[in-house]
Amino acid sequence: MRYAKFFQFVYLVFGALFIYDAISKYNTNREVAYPSILLGATAIFMFFFRRKFSKKFDNKER
């Protein structure tokens, strides 16, 4: 179960990287990088989704 808790934070890292990519593309070319924004938002959503369900399963085991 330790790995599942570790990979929750990997979602945050990837979300931050995709958001940074979108911002840097916007600052250099003034183009909106919709795929990067979408992937970043999805990764951040997955972090909260996985955290909620891991807490739910931790409460069931006890």
Q: Which domain holds residue 56?
A: 2-61
Integer CA distances (angstroms), 27 to 15, 19, 31, in order: 18, 12, 8
How does residue 62 score in pLDDT terms, banded at 50, 70 and 90? low
Q: What pLDDT digit, counting tens, does each position of 21-34 carry?
A: 999 999 999 999 99
User: Residue for token digits 């924004």?
Assistant: 37
Q: Could you tell me if 36 and 18 are in contact, meaning their C-beta atoms sit under 8 angstroms apart? A: yes
At 61 the pLDDT is 57
Query: 58-61: long-range contacts (C-beta < 8 A, 24 or more apart)?
Result: 58/1
Which of the two residues, 1 and 36, has the higher pLDDT score? 36
Per-residue pLDDT tens digits for 33-58: 999 999 999 999 999 998 888 877 77
Helices (H), the chain: 2-29, 34-61
Query: What total of structural domains would you count in the chain?
Result: 1
